Structure 1
Amino acid sequence: MATTTTTPPRVNLSDKIREALEEEIISGKLYAGCSIDEQELMERFEVSRTPAREAIQQLATAGLVEMVPRHGAVVATLSLTEYVAMLEMLTELEGLAARLSARRMPAALRRDLQASFQACETAAAKDDSVAYEEANRWFHQTIYDGSLNEVLARQLRQMRLRMRHPQRSLFDRPNRVRNSLAEHQDIMKAILDGDEDAADRHMCRHISSGGNVYVDAVARGSVPRG
C-alpha cells in the first residue's frame, strides 16, 4: 500500500523576521530611532540578504521603520501631531470593535475577556505597570477578535503597534492604571450585557482619556515623545 507523505508548510522567512522585530518594538527593546542593521539580521536569523531586506521593507510599509539616508533603517519616531491624528482614528475604531463585540462576541472569547480583566486586576493590585500593559494588550486584542471582523481587527493591531511606544508610557503616569482598570470594567460589563451603545461609549471615553494623558504629559515635557 502506497504511503502518503505530508509536506510541511513552507516557512516564510521574511515574515518570521518581521514578527520578531514587531515583538521587540512592542516590548521596547527596539525603541524610536534605534537602528536595524540588515547584516545583523542575516547573521541572527541565519538567512540570506533577501528575506532580511524584505522584512525591513514590510516594516517600512507599515510605518514602523523609516529609511534614513546614510543611516539605513531605523525604528520610526511618532510625532505628537501624528499621534493625535492616529488617536482620533483609534478612538472611533476601538469603539466600533466594542460595539460589534457586544453584538456578537462568542462565548469562548467572553471568557477570555473576563480572564484578561482579571489579569489587569492582578497587575494593578501589585502596582506592576509592565504586567498591566501586557494584560491591557490582551484585553483589547480579545475585543478585536470578538468583533468577528478581521479587517477591523487587523487595522487596529497595526495602529496599536505603530503607537506602542507612547502607549507603554501611559501606565507609569499617576493613577492611570487605576483609572484604566475602572474603564475596563465598564467596557467589559457593557459587552457582556450586550449593550452596544454603552460598549461603544465607554471604549471611546477610555481611549480618549488614555491618549490625552500622554498628550498632556508631552506638552509638560514630563515624558519623551514617541
Structure 2
Amino acid sequence: MARRTSSALLQVIEEDLDAGRLLPGDTLDEQGLASRFDVSRTPAREALLHLAAIGLVRMVPRRGAVVQGLSPGLALGMVEVLTALEAEAAGLAARRMTGEEREWLRTLHAEARPAMQRLDTAAYMAANAAFHGAIYAGARNAVLAEQLRLTRRRMLSYHRSSLGQPARVKASWREHGALLEAVLAGNEDGARAAMRDHIQSGGRVFADLVAGHEGGTT
C-alpha cells in the first residue's frame, strides 16, 4: 500500500465511522493502524489525536483510542445544539436557495419515498443525508455546514438505530415534506420551525436509544 499521510488516514477512519464499520466502544491503536495502512506510527498517532480533539474518540491508557459513545446528558446537549444549527441552516436555505436548488430539494424528497415505503433503513439514511446536505449547501455558510456535519457524525451510530424504527422513518419523511413546503415558499420562519420540529422529534427517539444503551437495555 502506498504511504499515507495522517490526513489520508484520518479520511479512511472517518469513512469507517460513517459506514458503521466502527462503533462506540471499538478501539483503535497506533500500532494496529500503522500495520493496517503500512505507515509509521507518527501519522497514525496524529490521526488519533485529531479524532480525540474533535470528540470522536477518547484516549484510554493501555487501550489506545476508543470510539466515543454518548451519555444521556451529552446526547441531550447534542440534540439541542443540532436543533439550533439545523434550524438556522433551514432558515438561510429558504432565503438563499436558487430556484434550481429548490427543485432539486423537491426531487430528493420524492426520491426518498420508495425507501421510506420499503422501510429500507440504509437507503433512507442515504436519502436523508442527501436532503439535509442540500439544505446545508443552500444555506451558503461553510462554517455552519462543517459544524453540522461534525455533530451529526458524533451522533451517527445512534441515528442509524433510530432510523431502523419504522415509525421514525415514516415520520421523518413527512417532516421533510413540511420543511420542503416552507423552503419552496421562501418562508424563513416556517423553515426554521419545521426543521426544529423535525430534529426534536428525531431527538426524542435518539435520546431514548442512548439512555437504553447506557442502561444496558438495547
1:194-214 Cα offsets, whole Å, 9 max, x none, are 111110000000000001022
Which segment is superposed worse, 209-218 or 180-189? 209-218
How many angstroms does 1:48 deviate by?
Answer: 2.1
Q: How do residues 7-22 of structure 1 correspond to structure 2 at under 5 angstroms?
A: 13-22=5-14
Q: How do residues 53-132 of structure 1 correspond to structure 2 at under 5 angstroms?
A: 53-132=45-124
In the aligned structure 2, how far is the partner of 1:218 from the partner of 1:54? 29
Q: Which of the two has greater helix per residue? A: 2
Is 1:141–2:104 an aligned residue pair?
Answer: no
1:25 maps to: 17
- TM, length-normalised to structure 1: 0.88
Which segment is superposed worse, 194-203 or 11-20? 11-20
Query: Structure 1 residues 119 and 56 mapped into 2: Cα distance closer, same or farther (>3 Å)?
Result: farther
Whether the aligned pair in 2 keeps the contact of 1:119 and 1:132 (CA below 8 Å) is no
Which segment is superposed worse, 215-224 or 121-130? 215-224
SS of 1:98 mapped into structure 2: helix
Whether the aligned pair in 2 keeps the contact of 1:59 and 1:65 (CA below 8 Å) is yes
- How many residues align? The count is 216
Whether the aligned pair in 1 keeps the contact of 2:70 and 2:210 (CA below 8 Å) is no
Whether the aligned pair in 1 keeps the contact of 2:34 and 2:41 (CA below 8 Å) is yes
Structure 1 unmatched ranges of 5 or more: 1-10
1:186 maps to: 178
SS of 2:161 mapped into structure 1: helix
Aligned-residue sequence identity (percent) comes to 44
How many angstroms does 1:34 deviate by?
Answer: 0.2
1:125-175 Cα offsets, whole Å, 9 max, x none, are 222011111111111111111110111111111100111111111112241
Is 1:165–2:148 an aligned residue pair?
Answer: no
Whether the aligned pair in 1 keeps the contact of 2:97 and 2:139 (CA below 8 Å) is yes
1:11-33 Cα offsets, whole Å, 9 max, x none, are 98212111211121122110001
In the aligned structure 1, how far is the partner of 2:129 from the partner of 2:41? 33
Which segment is superposed worse, 196-205 or 214-223? 214-223
Structure 2 unmatched ranges of 5 or more: none
In the aligned structure 2, how far is the partner of 1:139 from the partner of 1:223? 33
Paired amino acid for 2:59 = M
- Out of 32, 40, 56, the residue aligned to residue 32 of structure 2 is 40
1:204 maps to: 196
Query: Structure 1 residues 194 and 55 mapped into 2: Cα distance closer, same or farther (>3 Å)?
Result: same
In the aligned structure 2, how far is the partner of 1:225 from the partner of 1:53? 35
1:4 maps to: none
How many angstroms does 1:220 deviate by?
Answer: 6.0
- TM, length-normalised to structure 2: 0.91
In the aligned structure 1, how far is the partner of 2:217 from the partner of 2:100? 38
Whether the aligned pair in 2 keeps the contact of 1:171 and 1:177 (CA below 8 Å) is yes
The structure with the largest alpha-carbon Rg is 1
Whether the aligned pair in 2 keeps the contact of 1:42 and 1:48 (CA below 8 Å) is yes
SS of 2:21 mapped into structure 1: coil
How many angstroms does 1:100 deviate by?
Answer: 0.0
Whether the aligned pair in 2 keeps the contact of 1:218 and 1:224 (CA below 8 Å) is no
How many angstroms does 1:45 deviate by?
Answer: 2.4
